[in-house]
Chains A and B, each alone.
Chain A
């Protein structure tokens, strides 16, 4: 007899294990791509944008699937996502402001 999944857990079944393994391979693959991008001698701005995008995708995979946020209610998701979006917004404002100063200077 199994304990019923805790609230917010993904739907039961073998597909859940398969989903966890899929996320593991996605994270593994994205980490390899990240390291390859870091070693590639590309334009710095492009490298930074690609690295940040990959990191955000990886972080979202962990939060949505491993932390089960995907299966939580909208209110609980908002409780987590809204406050944590504010530093990202602040970072974007700072980056824009610095870029503006460089262009103006």
Chain B
């Protein structure tokens, strides 16, 4: 068994030996994947419950309840996709030890997350328009309303924690305490948030209610 310690930005990074099953994947990466699988199953539970409730209901959206804004949310989806791209390029820059570029791209990714949250706030409570809560979509009033708020806010909590995770990693990177491998783990979480949103957007927003 051979292992080596590489130095990156003054931090010590363990290079693991080749494993017959997991290759050179670090314990951190395997742990992150296992966490993401369990988190994915949580979302799957929510989406399955949504599907069962919707499939069994005679009327899913009542006439006095507002329709969801597909065009606006498509914009939020595009924003998350863009932030996934800035994240992969941040990792790329970190691999090349381009500190400034990696920091800039991480900052842009965090900005994408913050804008997504602002968009979600606007969708719920309204900034330039009334917002769903004022238009009559009230939590607890119907399965349509409750499942919408539970699923989208659960995802929003992930975007919030992901944004905080990015900012913490950005500060550590600027101080020379973070490695490219740690940015890759951060990327796994952020792309997972994007991946889940792709499914939530399709199931909750795009499938016609009629």
Contacts and interface: CB of A to CB of B under 8 A. Distances in A.
Interface of A: 1-9, 16-17, 20-21, 24, 27-28, 31, 34-35, 37-39, 44, 47-48, 51-52, 54-55, 58-59, 62-63, 66-68, 72-73, 75-76, 79-80, 83-84, 87, 90-91, 94-95, 98
A66 B191 contact: yes
Contact of A3 (B71, B94, B202): B94
B48 interface: yes
Contacts of A9: 95, 184
Contacts of A87: 41, 44-45, 47-48
Report, nearest first, the 10 A-B pairs whose CB atoms are least far apart.
A7-B24, A87-B44, A55-B202, A75-B21, A38-B206, A2-B96, A73-B23, A62-B195, A66-B191, A24-B85
B180 A35 contact: no
Contacts of A63: 191, 195
B208 A38 contact: yes
A39 B198 contact: no
- Pick from B51, B203, B206 the residue with the most CB of A within 10 Å: B206
Q: Majority SS of interface residues in chain A?
A: helix
B207 A48 contact: yes
Contact of A35 (B21, B71, B192): B71
A95 B87 CA distance: 36
A68 B184 CA distance: 10
A83 B184 CA distance: 23
A3 B95 contact: yes
B184 A6 contact: yes
Contacts of B8: 3
B102 to A, nearest CB: 11
B198 A55 contact: yes
Contact of A73 (B21, B71, B89): B21
Contacts of A52: 202
Interface of B: 6, 8, 16, 21-26, 29-30, 33-34, 36-37, 40-41, 44-45, 47-48, 51-52, 55-56, 70-71, 74, 77-78, 81-82, 84-85, 87-89, 92, 94-97, 179-181, 184, 187-188, 191-192, 194-195, 198-199, 201-203, 205-208, 210
Contacts of B40: 83-84
B30 A20 contact: no
A11 B41 CA distance: 31
Given A51-B206, A63-B195, A91-B48, 20 more contacts: A3-B6, A3-B94, A5-B95, A6-B95, A6-B181, A8-B25, A17-B89, A20-B88, A27-B81, A31-B77, A55-B199, A59-B195, A66-B194, A67-B192, A75-B22, A79-B30, A79-B34, A80-B36, A84-B44, A87-B41
